[in-house]
Structure formats: C-alpha cells, structure tokens
Amino acid sequence: MTRPDIQQRLLAARKQRIAQGRARVRRSIGRRDGVRVEVNGRWLTEFSGNDYLGLAQQFEVINALQDSAARDGAGAGASHLVSGHYAVHDALERDIAQWLEYPRALLFGSGFLANLAVQQALLEDGDVCVQDRLNHASLIDATRLAGCKLRRYPHLDPEGALRQLKQAPEGAAMLATDGVFSMDGDVAPLRALSLVARMQQALFYVDDAHGIGVRGPEGRGSVAEARMSAADVPLQLITLGKALGGYGAVVVGNEDLIQHLSETARPYIYTTALPPAQAAATRVAVKHARRDQWRREKLMELVERFRGAAQRRGLELMASESPIQPVLCGEDTNALALSSALESAGFLVPAIRPPSVPEGKARLRVTLSALHSAQEVDALVEVLARSWDAVQRIRAVA
C-alpha cells in the first residue's frame, strides 16, 4: 500500500489556492488607535473589524483589565472545574444573565468552543440539527463534530426549516441560526423560526454574535429586538469579542441546560478558563453597552450614511441594516483589486472570497464602528466608487 504524502497534498492545495487568488495573507498590526491601525509602518483607517461600539480601547475597560491583571495575574491557571474559576467569572456570568433576562449564563473561551459545547453536550447519534445555509462555520462544524445529522435550509426560510425538521429522523432536534449573519449582515426571522421549533418540538438555539450590543433595547441583541424571551429562545450564545470589544463567549439559558453544559461539555471542562482580567474588563464593557445608547445611535447614523452614499454612487450592497455592509464584487479578482486600491488610499478592508462566501459572491465586508467619523465614511465611499469604476473599465477593455 502506498499512502498519500501529506506534505505534497498540502503543497498542491496551496498552489491551487494561489492560482485561484484565494491564498490568505496575515497582516501584522503594529499599533492600534481606535479605528486606525499601523501596518508595516503605515497608518490605515480600518473598516474591517467587529469593535462595533468602540469599547476595545475604552479607558474604563482598559483600567479594569490592568487592575485585575495586577491582582490576579495574566491567566486563570486551570480549567473552571479545577481551580481556574474566579469570583469575577461568577460576576460576569450574573451580569450577562441579568442583562439578557435569562436565568443563568456560562462563560466560554470563544464562540467556536461554545457552539461546539452546546451541540456535543445536547445532541447524540440519531439526533438532528437543522440550520440556516449561511450559518457561521462554527455552528456547522459543531454539528459535524457532535456526530448527529446536519440538515440545512435555504437562507432566511422558516418554511424550509419546517420541511427539514419534518423530514428528520426520530431523534431529538435542535433548530440553530445566527441572529445577524456575519457575511451578509441581515437578520434571521426569529419569531417565525421560534414557532417552527415549537411546532416540531425542537430546541431553538440562536448565535447572536453580531447582534449583541448593537440591536434591541439596552443592546440586548436580536432576540430582544424581536420582543422574544428565554421562553421563546431557550438557549442563546453571545460573543464578547465583537461589540463588547474583548474575548470569549457566553451561553445563556435555563438552569437545567446551563448546569448540564457546565458538567458535561468537553470544550468547557477540558480547557483553561478565560483570564480573570479579561472577565473584569468585559464586565465594564457590558455596563457601557447597556448604558451608552449614544454609541448605537451614532453607529446607525453611520450605517445610513454609508448606505445612502454607496447607493448614490452605484455600488452594489446587500439588504443589511447592521454595521456589516457587504459591497458585492462578483469575481475574486474584483474584490482583491478593490481591496488593494483601498489600502493604497489608506483604508484597510480585506477581500472576502470563497469558501467564506458562495462562489461568484466575493465582496468587501465593510464594517462600521461608533468610533468612525462621518468624514471617514464619506472618504471610504469616494475611494470605493472611483476604484470600482476603474476595475470596470479594465474589465471592459480585457
């Protein structure tokens, strides 16, 4: 028997990615100042991050991080169930449960780990997880790793979800969706999906990574914006590394669900707890996310400004009212050319290409922050429009 050479297989795969224009390149950020980042000694205005409320460098948040690190150290030192669970972890879980009006919360190291934990702990062989086709990769991968059946329905289609659940085998069922979709920026029809889940006796699970802090009363997210509660959405995930500006994730749910996760979820049990200093910083970020309505108001003003200016200049946008504003480019080469032109003009907006998005749907994923100014938004649109016109002219000649 001759086995495939893994090294040769990797080299062939990378060669193909390069030929397709899909090789990934990391940029090293030297320094950051709000929405400005230093890359290779040059300052760029970033329109690609997820710090929607501008809390990542908010001075009270940073002070809490520094004070806790000086007291508790750089890391937790162990998993939660050994000796790594600090009082500040408890406090953060209570704060978030109270904010989102859920009975209990459980802290995880990342959204990817949390999604895996939920599905591995709650689903078994013979069960099914029905998901929106454009759900985040962590939800899709979690189902595959959990070993249950994965069924996917057309994007934003509750009737499709109902069909998939009806056709599912006789095991337990979960219906999982993003709240705000990370690449398109649109919002799931949560009320309709909740009804589908109830009709089919499926556990309804919402990953609201991109909705928390931005949408709903007090920034409580897409579920609260849809006027829904823990009774409608028994289990919900929020990440701490987007609008809250930090790192980690929290799953909220009823006492029984959260207790089960804390005792059986492998991504919770077998990993070091989040640094207590990070938890302390996030507590302050949550306070600001709840209180600082001006951040959400400014953010929405910038979204409207960007959309209006972009549409007047003929740029192709998607139906998104969130801070995620995709500019469709079609072919990968178009997105790469636009991204390069923007970087030359002082803006950082990386191209998003398959497999992160469907074939033929390459784009620039423009994201807005409350820290951006109206002038920066106007300047971005101007460069985008001029660069797109130039790309079109080149294509016409070719």
Phi and psi angles of residue 101, each rounded to the nearest 5 degrees, phi first:
65, 50
Q: Which two tokens stand for residue 350?
A: 């990386």
Q: How far apart (Å, rounded) are the C-alpha atoms in residues 159 and 195?
A: 11
111 a known binding residue? yes
The dihedral built from the CA positions of residue 101, 175, 187 and 336, taken in this order, carries a sign that is: positive
- Joined tokens for residue 43: 């300052």
136 is an annotated ligand-binding site residue = yes
Asked whether residue 210 is marked as a ligand-binding residue, the answer is yes
151, β-bridge pairs: 130
Q: Tell the burial category of 260 from Cβ atoms under 10 Å away from its Cβ (0-12, 13-18, 19+).
A: middle
Beta strands in the chain (DSSP E): 29-33, 36-39, 42-46, 104-108, 128-132, 149-153, 173-178, 203-207, 235-239, 249-253, 324-330, 347-348, 351-352, 362-367
User: DSSP characters for 260-305?
Assistant: HHHHH-HHHHTSBPPPHHHHHHHHHHHHHHHH-HHHHHHHHHHHHH
**59 assigned to a ligand binding site:** no
How far does the chain reach from its first CA to its final CA, in angstroms?
49
Say how far apart CA 121 and CA 266 lie, in whole Å.
Answer: 8
Q: Is 211 annotated as a binding residue?
A: no
Measured distance CA(194)–CA(196) in Å, rounded: 5
Count of C-beta atoms within a 10 Å radius of residue 327: 21
For the annotated binding site for pyridoxal 5'-phosphate, the residues are 111-112, 182, 210, 239
Query: Residues marked as binding for substrate?
Result: 24, 136
Q: List binding-site positions.
A: 24, 111-112, 136, 182, 210, 239
